């Protein structure tokens, strides 16, 4: 093996032209292009995460005993949260480091929450849409 390398090296030396300088593997241009692509991908990931959070496309449904019904911010770090536990709704005040029960009430029936009214308005809208399409 060593003999093969020693014999072949003069042949390789003649094949390389005098004054030829191999281009560098890593150039400034390639580094800028690589960093630009990396920043673009990171920006796309951050933008997608913001979009999903902003428009609540990520489902936060829970199948356990405790279900979060609604939540709203009342300050920079304070929130009011409605939680359902065993057909009871608890209104909780949540702040950094503590949670206070503000009110407890029975879970409203579906007609009390306006779901039946929404279903009826959807049916009437569908009927109106069908009438306008038939004309």
Pairwise pLDDT comparison (66 vs 115), residue with the higher score: 66
Answer yes or no: do 49 and 112 share one domain: no
Residue % of the chain over a pLDDT of 70: 70
pLDDT value of position 40? 97
Closest CA to 108 of 89, 121, 90, 85: 89
My answer on whether 48 and 37 are in the same domain is yes
Question: In this structure, are 52 and 66 located in the same domain?
Answer: no
Q: Do 54 and 108 share a structural domain?
A: no
What stretch of H or E contains 99? strand 98-106
Statement: residue 34 has pLDDT above 90: yes
User: Are both 69 and 103 inside the same structural domain?
Assistant: yes
Task: Please report whether residue 74 resides in a domain.
Answer: yes
Q: Are residues 85 and 130 in the same domain?
A: yes
Highest mean pLDDT among 22-26, 54-58, 65-69, 118-122: 65-69
Please check the confidence at residue 128 and state whether its pLDDT lies above 80: no
* Residue 65 falls inside a structural domain: yes
Q: Are residues 89 and 106 both part of a single domain?
A: yes
Cβ–Cβ under 8 Å, residues 29 and 43: no
Q: Do 53 and 68 fall into the same domain? A: no
Whether residues 135 and 75 fall in one domain: yes
Q: Which of 17-26, 29-38, 55-64, 87-96 is the least confident region?
A: 55-64
CA angle 35/37/41 to nearest 5° reads: 115
3-state secondary structure at position 3: helix
Q: Are residues 73 and 112 in the same domain?
A: yes
Q: Which tokens hold the place of 12?
A: 């390789």
* Widest CA span in the chain: 94
What is the total count of domains within the chain? 2
Q: Which range among 16-25, 53-62, 93-102, 123-132 shows the weakest confidence by mean pLDDT? A: 53-62
Does 47 share its domain with 98?
no
What is the mean predicted confidence (pLDDT) over 5-24? 63
**What's the predicted TM-score (pTM) here?**
0.40
Residue 35 or residue 67, greater confidence: 35
What is the domain range of residue 125?
61-135
């Amino acid at each position: 093996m060593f003999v093969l390398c020693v014999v072949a090296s003069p042949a390789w030396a003649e094949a390389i032209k005098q004054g030829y300088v191999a281009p560098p593997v890593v150039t400034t241009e390639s580094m800028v292009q690589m960093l630009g692509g990396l920043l673009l991908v990171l920006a796309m990931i951050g933008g997608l995460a913001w979009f999903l959070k902003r428009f609540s496309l990520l489902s936060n449904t829970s199948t356990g005993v405790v279900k979060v019904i609604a939540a709203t911010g009342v300050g920079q770090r304070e929130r009011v949260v409605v939680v359902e536990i065993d057909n009871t709704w608890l209104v909780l005040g949540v702040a950094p480091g503590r949670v206070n029960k503000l009110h407890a009430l029975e879970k409203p029936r579906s007609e009390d929450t306006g779901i039946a009214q929404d279903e009826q308005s959807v049916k009437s809208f569908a009927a109106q849409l069908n009438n306008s399409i038939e004309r």
